[in-house]
Amino acid sequence: MLLAACSGGSNPNSEQGSNASPNPGESAAPQEKPTISWLNVLHTATPPTDTVLNKIEEYTGAEIEFSWIPDASKEERLNTALASDSLADIVTITLMENSSVRNALKAGVFWEISPYLDEFPNLAKISEGFRTSASIEGKLYGIPLQKQVARNGVIVRKDWLDKLGLQPPKTTAELFEVAKAFTENDPDGNGVKDTTGFMDRSDLVFGAFKTLSSYHGTPSVWSVSEDGKVLPEFESEGYVKTMDYMKGLYDGGYINQDFAVTAKTDQQQNFAQGKAGIYVGALFDSKNLLNLAKGVQDNMELIMLNNITLTGSESERAIWSTSNGVGGLLSFPKSEVKDENELRQVLKFVNDLMSDEVYALMTYGIQDVHYTIDGNKAVTITNTELWQQEVQPFSSSRPSELGYEIHDNDPLRAEAAKLIEENTKYAKLNPMYSLESPTNSAQGSELLKIVTDATYKYMLGEETLDDFNEAVAKWRKSGGDQIISEYEAAYKAAFGS
């Protein structure tokens, strides 16, 4: 429960608390801090310690109670929380297309916050584009998590390329050959065939599949023809070509053979331990991978690639953006946030999280403890192990990743930021993201499992292309045709035909 209004604090790295006297020599009655509960997603192996959390609480003037959901089980855990009404003041929602989530949002489980945003200076800066993309049927049921439009690319071990006399790949075929060489030609020089090309995880979106799919010309989730006809991405030629590509990697042993059941943390740990040389994901993961490799693979050198195409032509460059830069919502259930006063309290708290000071805390930690900073606001992490324990788990909780002056001094992170910004030019947006299909909201997640399962079975050689096409037909008959029809009507109403 929210017990009192959040109050802004002083510099988070100062020892002065938020209840300090306003003027020297004066005494101020201590104010009871609000306690804000937060059901949040954890992308690291363990939750953070309290060191940085205490500073965030000091700045925001609130006590924060986190309930962490591991990323690997977030869909199941969130569905359970919604069904049992075991929520929190703030719920991090990253599964915007999940039918249970969309139904809960539309059913009025969470506050609609559009009328309140402009009361708070940082929330007021959220652009109309983000507000629109994050809305459902024109209503905004939480603070949009603002991220880069297209963050993904390919991370490759440069030291292995150099060892084998290979150039950075520019085409999907060259990337395949690099994966083959990393598997067969002993890139780590230990005389044992114990490496693979790709290290992937069980995620068709944030793992390798969707990025490789972009390179094969697949649209982002949906496509719309000039005459307004809507088709799902898995009915495109590019999707099938990507399945064939992944199947070729699997059949050749050029990808970890358990990729269909590998969690993100295991994927990153395995890469850091030198078991593979290609990682497809967010480009800024490169520095995290290098940090994980410290003391294990100290000779690791990484390069990042965002310009891979089928033929190497600049005109073919593309990268997916299913959510158009919206990473989800910070939503506020009415069962926990009882009235407008409490809503304003929790909105004030999120507004404070978007300050430069708290962004620095959640990204880099505490100055002179975790990092140093120069006159250009470039940060150098000075204690990587401590940063991983006390800071890194907070990074996915930042309401916004955009527009802050403080930045990483590390060349790898600087290059990642440059490439991610460059991706914006080539991003393929999801044309249906802000539109509504009632059938998709009610059944979309369950229906999609039909195609997801068929995709994995095809890539693993357990089923044929005919079997995959039968699964797509089943998807259509089970509600997919209705979803397409509803999206076509919504698109026509919003944009004309």
Predicted confidence (pLDDT) per residue in 310-349, tens digit: 999 999 999 999 788 999 999 999 999 999 999 999 999 9
Flag whether pLDDT at 496 surpasses 50: yes
CATH superfamily of 35-147+326-403: Periplasmic binding protein-like II (3.40.190.10)
Q: With H, G, I as helix, E, B as strand and everything else as coil, classify residue 35.
A: strand
- Tell me, letter by letter, the H, E, C secondary structure of 473-489: HHHHHHHHHHHHHHHHH
Residue 199 three-state SS = coil
> Strands, DSSP E only, in 254-396?
276-282, 302-305, 319-321, 326-331, 371-373, 378-381
Question: Considering the entire predicted model, what is its pTM?
Answer: 0.73
> Strands, E, within 252-382: which ranges?
276-282, 302-305, 319-321, 326-331, 371-373, 378-381
242-285: pLDDT as tens digits: 999 999 999 999 999 999 999 999 999 999 999 999 999 999 99
- β-pair partners for 129: none
The two structure tokens encoding residue 314: 């600049």
Q: Higher-confidence residue: 12 or 283?
A: 283
**Identity at 360, one-letter amino acid code:** A
Write the CB contacts of 364 (distance below 8 Å, at least 6 apart in sequence): 370, 371, 379, 381, 387, 391, 406, 408
CATH 3.40.190.10 fits 152-220+234-322, yes or no: yes
Q: By C-alpha distance, which of 150, 160, 151, 147 is closest to 199? A: 160
For the chain, how far is it from start to end, CA to CA, in angstroms? Answer: 48
Give residue limits of the domains in the chain.
Answer: 35-147+326-403, 152-220+234-322, 438-495
* Whole-number percent of the chain with pLDDT over 70: 94
- Lowest-confidence region among 156-170, 363-377, 422-436: 422-436
CA-closest candidate to residue 351, choices 67, 121, 185: 121
207-210-215-220 Cα dihedral, nearest 10 degrees:
-150
Residue 37, φ and ψ in degrees, nearest 5: -90, 145
Query: What is the rounded distance in angstroms from the CA atom of residue 458 to the CA atom of residue 474?
Result: 16
Instruction: Identify which of 169, 167, 122, 163 has the alpha carbon closest to the alpha carbon of residue 143.
Output: 122
DSSP calls for 36-68: EEEEEEE-SSS---HHHHHHHHHHHT-EEEEEE
**Of residues 496 and 408, more confidently modeled:** 408
Tell me whether domains 35-147+326-403 and 152-220+234-322 share a fold.
yes
Q: Which of 279, 312, 308, 280 is closest to 293 using CA atoms?
A: 279
Range name among 86-100, 243-257, 266-280, 360-374 with the lowest pLDDT average: 86-100
